[in-house]
Amino acid sequence: MSAPRSKAWLGWLRAAAIVCVMLVFALPMVWMIAAAFKTNVQVTDPSVGLWFHPTLENIRTVLTEGPILRSMGNSLLIGVVSTVLSAVIAVPAAWAVGRFGMQRTGSLILVARIVPAISLLVPWYYLFAQLGLVGSYTVLILSHMFVSVPLILWIMISFFAGLPVELEEAARTDGLSAFGAFRRITLPLAAPGTATACLLAFVFSWNNFMFALVFADDSTQTVPVTLFQFMSYASTDWGGLMAAATLITAPVLIAALFGQKYLVAGLTSGAAKG
Amino acid sequence: MATLQLPGSTRQSTTEPGRGRPPRSFESSNRRLKWAMLTPALLFVGLMIAFPLAYTVNLSLTDAFGAVNAGSSHVGLRNFGDLLTDTRRFWPAAWRTLEFTVGAVLLETVLGLAVAMLLRKPFRGIRWVRTVLIIPLLTTPVAIGILWLLILDPTNGIANHLLSELGMPRMEFLGSVGQSLPTLMLIDVWQWTPMMALLLLAGLTTLPEEPEEAALVDGAGPWQRFRYVILPMLTPALGTALVLRAVDALKTFDLLYATKGPGGGADFEVETLNVYAYGLTFDYQEYGLAAALLVLFTLVIIGVVVALRRRATSSGRKDA
């Protein structure tokens, strides 16, 4: 008699706990977005809360008066190019690691995840200065690829491990070369995994702060650096700052809304196996 | 594609046992193919990392200062000696790094495990919860920093407003020397607990159900089932998640630099090893000293990874 009742009670408790967890993680983001549409007087008055007359003034000012549009263009260019180039070299490598049991060789590349990026900045700076490339898109694309290649490799190794070998073997029996089997059979099957890995690589490139902080000049600056500089010269313009933060978070929010299934799969791939 | 091979160079490749070995020509073309597929990625990462590491190690043994290519001379291990005896900036930064990493990662693990257990049984709306969870960890740390600066603003922030509504004392948060590091740890916990939760949730969904059902039949309560059945099985996933998170937490830079600026604040109150290394390099141009610090720091990170991995595998074996 009491068992079903306590079960229902537990269910409600669990639902309440889940709602609490969601509020904890969602409310700060909601607060940021709300502040982007407040006047500066409203932003610094906590009693205004979430009920107010929204204004587009901050967004308009940030878009027209600051360098943020150009930064978004730079980030988009660097993100897309570095992601595509990384996928071109990392996807075949992941396949080779998975199919030919080269885990040891593959894990060498993951050393790149361990080394603190700061220890690479001075040598890279020295090297790229010799080549006259500091401040160019090339340096930023190469440095962002340094993050994307291991990331895509990591995700794709476990993705390929989940694809059946039999299809490739059947294709080989039908006369395709090993490369042909990869290109005509496996690669199309790997499209969802590749898309996932690329989406994550793009997001991490979009968010990358340190490389552009050191290697970019005014014309190649990316969004996190623009936001950081905006903060240091207009620390009291909360409305403008929140508008800028919201603008550069918008692509991530859209990706999260439409691609959560893939993003979660990519973020957690390889984790369960240990 | 058949290729001629010198007898001495034929290293038999190890195919999986139980399968017939394919003809020689097949094998050698495979070997070429796998290297052709792997080489661009290996070469890229290798070139981007090998020269810098060698360069940094070399730099750490010099008194390079001012400009990287200005004349410098080898000073042996003096930089390392200078660092290890520096109780003003180096050791406090090292302890802060440890404090930040251990505190944040421990909280993230406990809370992440709790959230993962909460979300374990399927329910309607799980996709909305997952959407909410991935947003913090996919948002630029600089934006996260600014957002929390607004919320935690000592005079105008909503956090203090809520605290005083609840009759609690107002806090200085990032405005004070003492509260800055704990506050940043909590921001890190807010941003990365979802990552822990998602990693552990993925681990939980791969666990077999039989052991838990058996424990249920034997009359084990919820806590006993969690502690003696689920937790041991989850150890490998927990180990991986811990390593991933610890490596990133040790290297935290964006959030600290965006909120407190160079040096980690006026009193260096949030200056970790990574922030100190950045300051030595770009604010003081102490390239030799910075390189020595980075060599030490890299060794510490590698040590942490090895130690955590060894612990995870050995305790996994013990529990299995």
Q: Which of residues 78-107 of B touch A (CB under 8 A)?
A: none
Place of tokens 């020397």: B177
Residue A145 has pLDDT above 90, yes or no: yes
DSSP secondary structure letter of residue B11: P
State the average pLDDT for chain A.
88
Structure tokens at B238: 């927990």
Smallest CA-to-CA distance from B45 within A104, A150, A83, A151 is with A150
Taking residues B63-80, report their average pLDDT: 81
Taking residues B154-173, report their average pLDDT: 88
Contact yes or no for A211/A101 (Cβ under 8 A): no
Structure tokens at B101: 């990493």
ipTM of the complex: 0.90
Give the number of other Cβ atoms within 10 Å of residue A185's Cβ. 19
Taking residues B160-187, report their average pLDDT: 90
pLDDT at B155: 85
DSSP secondary structure letter of residue A183: I
DSSP secondary structure letter of residue B173: G
Nearest CA in chain B to A87: B41
Residue B96 has pLDDT above 90, yes or no: yes
**pLDDT band at residue B10, thresholds of 50, 70 and 90?**
very low
pLDDT at B9: 34
State the average pLDDT for chain B.
85
Q: How far is CA B27 from CA A176, A177, B3, B67, in A?
A: 15, 12, 10, 52
pLDDT at A86: 96
pLDDT at B314: 67
Taking residues B134-160, report their average pLDDT: 92
**Distant-in-sequence, close-in-space partners of B230: CB < 8 Å, separation ≥ 6:** B117, B204, B207, B212
Taking residues B109-121, report their average pLDDT: 94
Smallest CA-to-CA distance from A94 within A135, A152, A39 is with A152
Structure tokens at B2: 């058949």
Taking residues A193-212, report their average pLDDT: 93
Give the minimum alpha-carbon distance from A182 to chain B in angstroms, rounded to a whole number: 11
Give the minimum alpha-carbon distance from B251 to chain A in angstroms, rounded to a whole number: 6
Cα(A127)–Cα(B80) distance, rounded to whole angstroms?
A: 25
Among the residue ranges A46-50, B77-81, B154-158, B162-166, the one predicted with the least confidence is: A46-50
Q: Locate all alpha helices (DSSP H) within A131-164, ordered by sequence.
A: 137-161
Q: How far is CA B318 from CA A133, A267, B128, in A?
A: 53, 29, 38
| Residue B129 burial (10 A CB sphere; 0-12, 13-18, 19+) | buried
Report for A221-230, B5-14, B32-41, B263-272: range of highest mean pLDDT: A221-230
Structure tokens at A37: 């549409």
Mutate to test the interface with B, among A107, A122, A159, A160 (most CBs of B within 10 A): A122
- A123–B51 C-beta distance less than 8 A: yes
Among the residue ranges A129-133, A137-141, A241-245, B269-273, the one predicted with the least confidence is: A129-133
Mutate to test the interface with B, among A12, A211, A260 (most CBs of B within 10 A): A260
Nearest to B253 among A124, A210, A257 (CB): A210
- A118–B135 C-beta distance less than 8 A: no
Residue A71 has pLDDT above 50, yes or no: yes
Cα(A196)–Cα(A260) distance, rounded to whole angstroms?
A: 10
Residue A211 has pLDDT above 50, yes or no: yes
The pTM of this model reads 0.88
Q: Please, what sign has the CA dihedral across residues A107, A113, A114, A120?
A: positive
Residue B76 has pLDDT above 70, yes or no: yes
**pLDDT band at residue B181, thresholds of 50, 70 and 90?**
very high
- Torsion angle (degrees, nearest 10) of CA A14, A15, A21, A24: -140
Structure tokens at B219: 């009359």
pLDDT at B20: 46
The rounded percent of chain B whose pLDDT value lies above 70 is: 87
Residue B166 has pLDDT above 60, yes or no: yes
H, E, C per residue of A12-51: HHHHHHHHHHHHHHHHHHHHHHHHHCCCHHHHCCHHHCCC
Structure tokens at A238: 């909360």
Cα(B137)–Cα(B233) distance, rounded to whole angstroms?
A: 26
Taking residues B305-318, report their average pLDDT: 70
Give the minimum alpha-carbon distance from B204 to chain A in angstroms, rounded to a whole number: 8
Nearest CA in chain A to B40: A89
Q: Locate all alpha helices (DSSP H) within chain A, ordered by sequence.
A: 2-36, 40-43, 57-65, 68-99, 103-109, 111-114, 118-130, 137-161, 165-173, 178-181, 187-189, 191-207, 210-215, 223-233, 238-268
Nearest to B237 among A32, A92, A271 (CB): A271
